[in-house]
Amino acid sequence: MFAADAPTTSSSASSPIGRRFHTGISMRSLSHYTQCEVHALCNPVDLSAEELARVDSLVSEVRTVQRGASLFRANDSFSNLYIVRSGSFKTVVMHRDGREQVTGFQIPGEMLGLDGIVHGRHLCGAMALERSTVCVVPFEPLEDLCRAIKPMQRHLHKVMSQEIVRESNMIMLLGTMRADQRVAAFLLNLAGRYGSRGYSDTEFVMRMTRGEIGSYLGITLETASRMFSKLQHERLVHARGKQVRILDSDGLARL
Amino acid sequence: MFAADAPTTSSSASSPIGRRFHTGISMRSLSHYTQCEVHALCNPVDLSAEELARVDSLVSEVRTVQRGASLFRANDSFSNLYIVRSGSFKTVVMHRDGREQVTGFQIPGEMLGLDGIVHGRHLCGAMALERSTVCVVPFEPLEDLCRAIKPMQRHLHKVMSQEIVRESNMIMLLGTMRADQRVAAFLLNLAGRYGSRGYSDTEFVMRMTRGEIGSYLGITLETASRMFSKLQHERLVHARGKQVRILDSDGLARL
DNA sequence: CGAGTGCTTGAGCTACGTCAACCATAGTGG
DNA sequence: CCACTATGGTTGACGTAGCTCAAGCACTCG
């Protein structure tokens, strides 16, 4: 079950980004207080102190977004990228008939807004699933920086390419997988992303509703719910509401 | 019907890239012979003659790929981007169980290989649907150029963002649309891309098989075939095998 | 001309959607 | 503290869009 298996940024750092416990349960202890900016944009690249400072100074603002509030909406003019510092988001696109589809969920360390670069307008909207904070990265200055610092340029390209890969995986999932496989892939993907960010990769809280999960996975909320029940009966996961524990990740992958 | 509505590159140039007639039928006359390289990479940006020359010199090679042959395969190491000069390609990803899914079709002027940037390996394979030629653009030199020439950098970012948008549209299609809507969207998308490249946007030859179309759209080849028949009965298109004429594009969009 | 490949169409099956009832939890106001 | 409502989740019964399997046709190509 490889679909949607890629975190949105290529920050494969082993040290965590956030300072908040996510589930409150079975967290690795976080030994260092770390500036978010440093990790999200720069961790993957090796920079001099002076270069690091320039990257740091790029982050113009840390913004707080209340639960249910939009960070940006479809058709808003584009000028910033955002990096989730705490909390979580969903991105949604609207069909002309009013139906909307969730196109992604973002957790700390992941990037938002890349879709806006082409036309200078955001094509999806981003809404906070809980009270969240983001680092605001103005795009033009970021481009300037990328012309000056080669590893930074490479990093930005990787982040964008990663997003392309994430979406291909999603296309694969939507094009070929059964409902139970989709839910299993979704859980493994979330687990992997939490894991690589220092949270537990076997137990976490899903901030999104069944409806949002279903929309994301191209199934109805009822089917999503049934699949959670099915996976539970098969002893692959333990799920009560939004709290999930993965019991047999190999089993999930084998579906 | 907005899904998959975006050409892969942001070349919104009104002048055509290729010099070959595509369908042989109802083509606009192509008044200028134009170097492919000039258009595909640079048309959208305003460059000095000297800058243009540097971009031109980037294209190290024009490669010919026979029908059914691979331009690159999944897991090949990544070093070049490619721009289709003539002919057409499909990109495919392989599921671990051996099933493959088509993730895109590329026609002249469109770019291939962006997925390879993240991990330095291609994640999808690219196969020619007919005898085709591509411009080979080595990525590292391209990055160098993008650090030197700001509009070029912006252009590369747009091309990548465009690909992200294209895939989001695909996700929307796969997540929310019925089979007939998918086929309609596919046809309108192809038509638009041919149109913006100077070919006819109402009549063209689909180089891919029903099986490939089905795979791309997340349906079986039988369903794809049935939907072509259905759209034909409804007088929205005229399709005989791979030759298609769009009779009522509004009707297709309204489905 | 025969073989291979792709396309179409039919018949039956099934995974998933739809509709609906019911339960759990959390926030709100008296 | 307890209704009271709103929101989200679960489960069942039933309908259907699209899948599977299968047969036959239409090309292209050696």
Domains of chain A in sequence order: 22-155 (2.60.120.10)
Q: B218 to chain A: which residues are within 8 Å by CB?
A: 174-176
B160 interfaces chain A, CB cutoff of 8 Å: yes
The share of chain B scoring above pLDDT 70, in percent, equals 82
**Distance (Å, whole) CA B230 – CA B197:** 29
3-state secondary structure A24-45: CCCCCCCCCCCCHHHHHHHCCC
* Beta carbons of A20 and A88 less than 8 angstroms apart: no
Helix, coil or strand: residue A15:
coil
* Beta carbons of A102 and A216 less than 8 angstroms apart: yes
Name the residue among B10, B103, B118 with its Cβ closest to that of A118.
Answer: B10
A88 interfaces chain B, CB cutoff of 8 Å: no
Name the residue among B143, B150, B165 with its Cβ closest to that of A115.
Answer: B165
Q: What pLDDT is stored for residue B79 in this prediction?
A: 96
DSSP designation for B35: -
Structure tokens at A107: 């957790």
In angstroms, the Cα distances linking B92 to A7, A107, B63, B98, B99 are 21, 29, 20, 12, 10
- Strand D atom within 7 Å of B67 CB: no
The share of chain B scoring above pLDDT 90, in percent, equals 66
**pLDDT per residue as tens digits for the range B53-110:** 888 888 878 999 999 999 999 999 999 999 998 999 999 998 877 788 999 999 998 9
Higher-pLDDT residue of A221, B98:
A221
**pLDDT per residue as tens digits for the range A25-62:** 222 223 333 455 445 565 666 777 888 888 888 887 88
Beta bridge partners of B127: B70, B90
Who contacts B164 (Cβ-Cβ below 8 Å, separation ≥6)? Answer: A114, A115, A118, A160, A163, A164, A167
Q: Residue B175 and residue A146: Cβ atoms within 8 Å?
A: no
3-state secondary structure A133-201: EEEEEEHHHHHHHHHHCHHHHHHHHHHHHHHHHHHHHHHHHHHHCCHHHHHHHHHHHHHHHHHHCCCCC
